[in-house]
Amino acid sequence: MAQLVGEPGDVLLRLDGVVKHFPVGRGIFPGRDADAVHAVDGVSLEVRRGETLGLVGETGSGKSTLARCATRLHTLTAGRVVFDGHDITTLSRRELRPYRRQLQMVFQDPYGSLNPHRRVGSIIGDPLAVHGVVDGPARRRRVQELMELVGLNPEHYNRYPAEFSGGQRQRVGVARALALRPRLIVCDEPVSALDVSIRAQILNLLAELQRELDLTYLFISHDLSVVGQVSDRVAVMYLGKLVEVAPVAELYRRPRHPYVAALLSAVPVADPDLADRRERVILAGDPPSPIHPPAGCRFHPRCPKARPRCVDEAPPLVPRGGDGASHPTACHFPVEPGEDLAHEHAAIDQPEQEAAVSLRRVAGSTS
Amino acid sequence: MTVTAPGQAAADAAAARPGAIQGRGPWRLAWERLRRDPVAIASAVTLVLIAVAAVAAPTVAHAIGHGPDDQYPTIGLTPAGLPVGPSRTFLLGTDNLGRDLLVRILYGARISLMVGVVATVLATVAGVVVGLAAGYLGGPADLVLSRFMDMVLSFPYLLLAIALVSVFGSSLTISMLVIAFFSWAAIGRVVRGQALSIREKEYVEASWSVGSGAMRVMFVDILPNLLAPVLVLATLLVPAAIVFEATLSFLGLGVPPPTPTWGGMLSDSLAFYQVAWWFPLFPGLALLATTLAFNLLGDSVRDALDPSAGRAGGGGGR
């Protein structure tokens, strides 16, 4: 069984230097297939009891891989996963089973995550059947309670997934995750496949359930506004690494990492006056290949503040310039309050600066 | 997707009893599409008639008064010793030994259907087991099993069948085993491919995440999702097996005489087709009708299970 490691009482899930590489193209000759996608490259993160930790990153930043490492659907390349004081990094499927009861997952695709050949009643009842919690009529009652809890009609017990809308299907996924009364639910982009109106319903449902059932969420999304709405703290990922972690209000008010600052400036605001006054920072270029990530700071080829040090040395994730311990940033030259990124120019050699990577000022020019 | 209409909501409320609402699953929907397909209905009716005829063969033989192996040298052959044509006594004529062709065709249906069904069941079970193992396990197991399937598929099957029959002697059992042996790999390959892709689906991941074991994932999550292509392949395998058996019998490698088989009858008729047109025609028609019905039914089953694929010319979509 997993050993107990000393842990401050309020940390439910701790990721410690998690690394996940996927080999690219199975080599015929052993030892010659050196290439690997560095999906997650040394992420350390704590999820505290009762909180919602938002994990944001663009497509390919490794956030979903990190979620699957946290729930041990993936085997880690390196690092540790500690759940409630128990190291579950190397447990086998069988050994993991008791932890599955406390650690559940809601998936991104409401269409792909439900088996089309099974009735929703048996899908939701699956965790109960697998863990032998209740059987027969009692299981059916429990499943129907769960359906009611997530806002589904319990009479639809015998329906098939294809007979539900996307939002209803996602409720089925939530009910399945809740069946074992878990303590932590990892939500992997639970609303990104849904319409905006349905999105709000599901987010509200998750919030209500959190209050009622004392849940902890690791909430993954590529949408900063969604994450800002539901999270207590936010962690931002870029190319397999965390670049900044902070309480939600602090991150949105005072981002320290140039990448986060650029992302936040791109979040749409509902107030047109505010939108006009706002400086928008546009990042040029695409994220580099995770097969050959850039040396030093992974953001340096696109960073307006890049300096030679950024190419040579990867910045550690630590609190910068007067920030509290709750707000670490992985940047040698963090953004200062009031600083205008649009005026910055990188001071590194052109080859390092791949594609035209200046940040342009667009505020006003679009109106 | 399903939007509950107000009227339907009222109906739902009226039902009130939990579980009163029965969902229509993928199989049920396919069945309903199949029931509306005239080709499927016609094929199914044909096959039922053939099956009834096969089952009723002894009864018919008794009613007519001609056994399948009874020879009628006086009334069943012309003075020159040639088969006699269709008449009131022999409805479909006789063969070269003066036996009633109708009775023999009915008995031949028993062999054909039995070989077709038994060989297909054997091949399907073997194909599903091996294909599922290869696709689910992946890695070295997949490599070995896949190469084995490739090897079976690349055998010159007729040559090997001749070799096997000459070693073990020709019999009904050997025929079925030989046919199954050369048929399972095609199903195995399809199942492997399906299993490989289904294994990566999010609902399989979800099943792992609730703590399912390997057996549950394999048989509850993966297997039901690949039964549809297996069913289609199996339906199409039956006529292939029937033709295979007929081929073996035609070459004298199948069920040994005097047991009546369609292939054997066609083989016997070779020397007589110029003087007795009925001799090759009726066994040939029986073979054609059976295989055609199975093939058309297989196509209909495929269309019913996957309406989005659509047939060339026939507009797809529901």
pLDDT digits (tens, 9 = 90+) for A213-266: 889 999 999 888 888 888 999 999 999 899 999 999 888 888 889 898 888 887
Whether A159 and A195 map to the same domain: the answer is no
Q: How far apart are CA B28 and CA B31, in angstroms?
A: 5
Whether A196 and A87 map to the same domain: the answer is yes
Whether A208 and A94 map to the same domain: the answer is yes
Amino acid identity, residue B309? A
Which residues on chain A are in Cβ contact (under 8 Å) with B23?
Answer: 119-120, 156, 158-160, 163
Is B202 in Cβ contact with A160 (below 8 Å)? no
Q: Give me the residue from B18, B207, B220 closest to A157, CB to CB.
A: B18
Which residues on chain A are in Cβ contact (under 8 Å) with B224?
Answer: 115, 117-118
pLDDT digit string, tens, across residues A104-154 = 999 988 888 998 888 899 999 989 988 888 888 889 999 999 999 888 998
Is A198 part of a structural domain of the chain? yes
Give the Cα-Cα-Cα angle A85, A88, A89 (nearest 5 degrees): 125
Q: Is A44 left (phi over 0), alpha (psi -120 to 50) or beta?
A: beta
ipTM score assigned to the predicted complex = 0.80
- Return the structure tokens found at A16: 């410690």
Whether A89 and A215 map to the same domain: the answer is yes
Domain count across chain A: 3
- Return the structure tokens found at A62: 């490794």
Q: How far apart are CA A80 and CA A41, in angstroms?
A: 12
Lowest mean pLDDT among A211-225, A330-344, B279-293: A330-344
Whether A152 and A223 map to the same domain: the answer is no
Whether A196 and A67 map to the same domain: the answer is yes
Contacts of B84 (CB under 8 A, 6+ apart): B75, B76, B77, B78, B90, B93, B94, B98
Is A107 part of a structural domain of the chain? no
Interface residue of B210, B223, B227 to substitute, partner A, most A CBs within 10 Å: B210
Query: What domains does chain B contain, in order, with CATH numbers?
Result: 32-305 (1.10.3720.10)
Nearest residue on chain A to B220, alpha-carbon basis = A118
Is A248 part of a structural domain of the chain? no
Average pLDDT of the residues in A11-18: 91
Domain containing A47: what range?
Answer: 1-102+182-238
Which residues on chain A are in Cβ contact (under 8 Å) with B219?
Answer: none
Average pLDDT of the residues in B196-212: 88
Please give the mean pLDDT across all residues of chain B: 81
* C-beta neighbour count of B139 within 10 angstroms: 9
Is A113 in Cβ contact with B202 (below 8 Å)? yes
Is A244 part of a structural domain of the chain? no
Torsion from C-alpha of B278, B284, B285, B289, nearest 10 degrees = 170
Q: Which of A175, A196, A212 is the last residue of a domain?
A: A175
Q: What is the pLDDT of residue A237?
A: 92
Whether A275 and A318 map to the same domain: the answer is yes
pLDDT band at A34 (very low <50, low <70, confident <90, very high): low
DSSP type of residue A163: G
Q: What is the pLDDT of residue A293?
A: 83
Q: Which of A148, A175, A202 is the last residue of a domain?
A: A175
* CA proximity to B99, closest of B75, B120, B126: B75
Is A113 part of a structural domain of the chain? no
Q: How far apart are CA B264 and CA B195, in angstroms?
A: 40
What φ, ψ does residue B276 adopt, rounded to 5°? -135, 85
Q: Give me the residue from B12, B25, B202 closest to A112, CB to CB.
A: B202
Is B19 in Cβ contact with A157 (below 8 Å)? yes
Interface residues from chain B to A (CB-CB < 8 Å): 1-3, 12, 15-27, 201-203, 205-214, 216, 220-221, 224-225
Q: How far apart are CA B203 and CA B200, in angstroms?
A: 8
Q: What is the pTM of this model?
A: 0.76
Is A117 in Cβ contact with B203 (below 8 Å)? no
The string of DSSP letters for B251-273 reads TT-SSPTTS--HHHHHHHHTTTT
